[in-house]
Amino acid sequence: MIDGTGFWTVFVREVRSAVRTRTYLALGLVTGIVLFGLAHAGGGPAGGYVPTVVDTLVAVEVLVPTLAFAVGYRAIADPAVRGELDILDTYPLSTWSYVGGVYAGRALLLLTIVVVPLLALGINVATTAGPETTVFASHRGVDSPFLFIRFIALTVLYALSSLTIAFLLSALAGSRGRALVLALAGLLVLTVGSDLAVFAALDTGVTTGTLGGALAMTPAGAYRGLVFDKVLYVAVPGRSAFVPTWVAGLSLLFWWGLTFVGAMLATDAA
C-alpha cells in the first residue's frame, strides 16, 4: 500500500519538475485567455455568475480533459521508456506510493492551470456585474457567487477523473509514440465519443425517459448534468433535473476509482 515517505518524495519531485517547465505556465495563460475571451464575448461577466457559466461551459468541457491529457499522457509512459520503473522495483517503494505521488503532483499542477483562471474570472464577475449578483442565493431564481463556486468544484471533480483516465492510458502505452496515440484517442472518446454512443443507444432500448441516466454514465455527461442541475437550473425556477444527481456523482467517482486502480495495475505489470 501507500508509504507516506515514498509518496511525499515522489510528489515533491513532480511539483518541482512542473515548476521548472514553462510549458505548463503557457497552458495556464492560454486557458485564462480562452475563458476570459469567451466570457466577455458573450457578455457573461456583466450579467452575473450564471451567464458566465453558460458562456464558458462548452469550452470548459473540452479544455479540462485536453489539459488533463496534456499533463498526464506521458506521466507513466516516460519513466517506463527510460527504465525508471525497473530501477524502482529494486527500491522499497510500492507501486501505490509511486503512482499516487506522481498523480498527486500532476493533479496539483492541473488544478492550478484550471482553477486559477476560473477564480480570476469569478473575481472579474464580482467586480463588473450588476449589483444584484452580490446577493447570496438562498432560493431559486437568484444569481450568486456560491453557484460559481459549485461550478469550480464540479470542474475539479471532472479534471481529476480525466487525469486518472490519462494515467491509465499512459501506463498501458509502453512507448511515447503509443502514449500520444492513446491520448488523442482517449480525448476524442471522452469529449464526444461517449455522448455519441449514448445517442446511438436510443435505437437499442434507451428512451427519452432513461436518457438522463444514460448520459450520467459517462464522465462528460455526468459533469454536464451536474453543472446543469446544481448551477444553471438553480437559478431557473421550474426546470426539471437534467440527469439523476446521485447517478452522475457516483459515475464520476466510479470512473476516477476504476481508472486509478487500472493505472496502478498497469504500472505494476509494466
Digit-coded pLDDT (tens) for 63-89: 999 999 999 888 888 888 887 777 777
Angstrom distance (rounded) from CA 46 to CA 39: 9
> Residue 197, SS3?
helix
Instruction: Return the pLDDT at 1.
Output: 59
User: In sequence order, which residues have a C-beta less than 8 Å from that of residue 20 and are 6 or more positions away?
Assistant: none
Q: Which amino acid is at 71?
A: V
CA–CA separation, 98 and 78 (whole Å): 14
Amino acid making up residue 121: L
Work out the mean pLDDT of the chain and round it to a whole number: 83
Q: Which pLDDT score, from 0 to 100, does residue 246 have?
A: 86
The pLDDT tens digits for 11-21 are: 999 898 888 88
| Helix, strand, or coil (residue 143) | coil
Query: 87, 99, 101, 81: which is closest to 7 by C-alpha?
Result: 101
Q: What does pTM read for this prediction?
A: 0.87
Task: Over range 30-37, report the average pLDDT.
Answer: 92
pLDDT value, residue 139: 46
Asked if 180 contacts 81 with a C-beta cutoff of 8 angstroms, the reply is no
pLDDT tens digits along 130-181:
655 544 444 445 678 888 999 999 999 999 999 999 999 998 887 778 888 8
Give the pLDDT score at 120. 94
Q: 17 to each of 94, 166, 192, 212, how far by Cα in Å?
A: 21, 19, 32, 42
pLDDT at 150: 92
**pLDDT tens figures, 212-260:** 677 778 888 889 889 988 888 776 666 666 778 888 889 899 999 999 8
